[in-house]
Amino acid sequence: MSVLSAPLLYETSGPVARLTLNRPAARNALSRALMTAFEAALDETAADPAVKVVVVAAAGKDFCSGHDLREMRAEPGRDSYASLFAQCSRLMTRLARLPKPVIARIQGFATAAGCQLVASADLAIAAETARFATPGINIGLFCSTPMVALSRAIGRKPALEMLLTGDAIDAARAREIGLVNRVVADSELDAAVGALAAQIAAKSPLTLALGKEAFYRQAEMDMDAAYAHASEVMTRNMLARDAEEGIDAFLAKRAPIWTGT
């Protein structure tokens, strides 16, 4: 398969891996082939010790329009639909469980499962002209799987407003409700994403992995269980060589040298 026809592009630059949805003519709709390539790329980044941060981007003018409706209608039936949504759910869960931070770079529209992808990323930076929506309600299909990520990323009322109306929100509103971290001018999008990725990549990879895993696990616990888990993680973290190095470097007023151990 040529690069031009590959549904997903994978490239690395130093400690940053960039995964680019590459179906611009289909507004980067999540076909089965694209999701399969996406999962394989996440496995590759997880296994590569040189990669510390993952950026999810998209070719063309839109980030992602959601599932490929033409592909779905061409393969009707319970088994086909169930396997498709199971694959998408597995992909979104994989993002949260990847032991490396994931930054979404959003331009144009991010709708339905595309909005789910934004909500599933650890961090998100949007161009000021970006738009977000869960418009399934408008075609008789409630965005139930996007709802899972959306309702965990933002408050219930703004999530339900998006899900029940199908209306698109602009980037400023997305930042206001916590769907994205930052909004920048379209011309500054790559620079902003690159700067954030570089800032995070400079941290201890062991600490990043420990912290991300702990964040998502404690978020689903009650307070007592969350504190117990966080205390255990902090104890393990303090015993790591990187924590010792980081503290010693801080006290000596020098830059730390991370070993990932």
User: What digits encode the pLDDT tens for the residues 234-260?
Assistant: 888 888 898 888 888 898 999 999 998
Residues 226 and 143 reside in one and the same domain:
no
pLDDT at 202: 96
Whether residue 62 is contained in a domain is answered as: yes
97 & 217 share domain: no
Q: Is residue 235 part of a domain?
A: yes
Reference 120, options 83, 142, 150, 100; nearest CA is 150
Worst-scoring range by mean pLDDT, 25-34, 39-48, 59-68, 233-242? 233-242
The answer to the question of residue 147 being in a domain is: yes
Same domain, 220 and 191: no
Within-domain flag for 261: no
Among candidate residues 164, 181, 201, the one where a domain is terminated: 201
Note the pLDDT of residue 1: 46
Closest C-alpha among 58, 71, 73 to residue 27: 58
Please indicate, yes or no, whether residues 103 and 228 belong to a single structural domain of this protein: no
Residue ranges of the alpha helices (H) in the chain?
32-47, 69-74, 78-97, 113-120, 144-153, 156-165, 171-176, 189-201, 205-219, 223-238, 241-251
Residue 88 pLDDT exceeds 50: yes
- Percent of the chain at pLDDT exceeding 90: 82
Residues 142 and 46 in one domain: yes
Residue 54 lies in a domain: yes
Q: Is the confidence at residue 168, as pLDDT, over 60?
A: yes
User: What is the residue range of 244's domain?
Assistant: 205-251
Is the distance from CB of 38 to CB of 91 less than 8 angstroms? yes
For residues 18 and 122, state if they share a domain: yes
pLDDT in tens, 191-223: 999 999 999 999 999 999 999 999 999 999 889
Nearest-5° Cα angle at 46, 226 to 105: 85
CB environment 155-189: b (16+ within 10 A), e (fewer): eeebbebbbeebebbebebbbebebbbebbeeeeb
- Would 114 be classed as within a structural domain? yes
Q: Write the Ramachandran bin of 260: left for phi over 0, alpha for psi from -120 to 50, otherwise beta.
A: left
**Model pLDDT for residues 22-37, shown as the tens digit of each residue:** 999 999 999 999 999 9
Q: Report if residue 260 sits inside a domain.
A: no
Residue 92 has a pLDDT of 96
Residue-averaged pLDDT of the chain? 94
Judgement on whether residues 154 and 33 belong to the same structural domain of the protein? yes
Is there a single domain that holds both residue 58 and residue 113?
yes
Q: pLDDT tens digits for 112-158?
A: 999 999 999 999 999 999 999 999 999 998 999 999 999 999 999 99
Tokens of 129: 């002209």
